[in-house]
Homo-oligomer: A and B are copies of this chain.
């Protein structure tokens, strides 16, 4: 019997949206482990719904690369693909470096307020040692910058590409030096506020280049979660 963590269903939310949120949650929080078999029927009965919304969710997640569907055979949680992780790192480095330069040229005062509020909440999350909260605020920090520059879709694309890495990143959350990340965020924000283009780009690059610090270690620790060179 398959066991999943269920999220509460929001008002006005369709069964499919709820199923999507729920299954995604179970994927990124490693309730469903990379390589595990997941059948539409099992998930449907685990969530108490029919196959249809589950299947439609599977299609979306397969398109995003989180599930591998083999027709008439089965569906499996995708293994972490290091090539994809590298593409995500490269993509983000290119785009966010340039975007933060744009942010220095024009940044609305509303967004400044939002960014400052976000930093306050980050500090709070650190003092409460709330890892998942800090993780969410980290994401939101970067999303605000993209959104202010009218580049929200690009942030979405980056986020999707990074979904593979995010799954194993949670495994090394305690090893993360939150204070360092926080101070980097502060430096990025103040550079934007003071319109110091060069410093903002440098700060962002430094912030992003140390992303794959421990990918090798994670691979050694959890080899079954990673895709082998030649593939399945």
Partner of A56, one of B59, B87, B98, B161: B59
Min Cβ gap A126→B in Å is: 32
For chain A residues 69-107, which have a beta carbon within 8 Å of chain B?
71, 83-84, 86-87, 90-91, 94-95, 98
Beta-carbon contacts under 8 Å, A40-68 to B: 55-56, 59-60, 63
Residues on B with C-beta less than 8 A from A83 are: 150
Evaluate whether A154 and B90 lie within 8 angstroms (CB atoms) in the complex, with A56-B56, A60-B59, A71-B14 already known. Answer: yes
Q: Is B153 a contact of A87 with CB atoms below 8 Å?
A: yes
From residue A215, how far is it (CB to closest CB) to chain B in Å?
16
Q: How large is the interface on A (under 10, 10 to 19, 20 to 34, 35 or more residues)?
A: 20 to 34
Interface residue? A196 (CB, 8 A): no
State whether A87 and B154 are in contact (beta carbons under 8 Å apart), knowing that A59-B59, A63-B60, A95-B94 are contacts in the complex.
yes
User: Among A14, A59, A63, A153, which residue has the most Cβ atoms of chain B within 10 A?
Assistant: A153
Partner of A151, one of B90, B98, B153, B160: B90
Complex Cα–Cα for A83 and B151 (A)? 9
Q: Summarize A's interface: helix, strand, loop or mixed.
A: helix
Confirm or deny: A157 has a beta carbon within 8 angstroms of a beta carbon on chain B: yes
Whether A154 touches B56, Cβ cut-off 8 Å, given contacts A14-B71, A63-B63, is no
Which residues from chain B contact A84 at a C-beta distance below 8 Å?
153
In the assembled complex, the Cα of A84 lies from the Cα of B83 at a distance in Å of: 27
What residues of B have a CB within 8 angstroms of the CB of A55 in the complex? 56
Given A14-B71, A56-B59, A63-B63, A87-B161 contact (CB < 8 Å) = no
Question: Which 5 A-B residue pairings sit nearest by Cβ, starting from the closest?
Answer: A94-B94, A157-B157, A87-B153, A94-B98, A94-B95
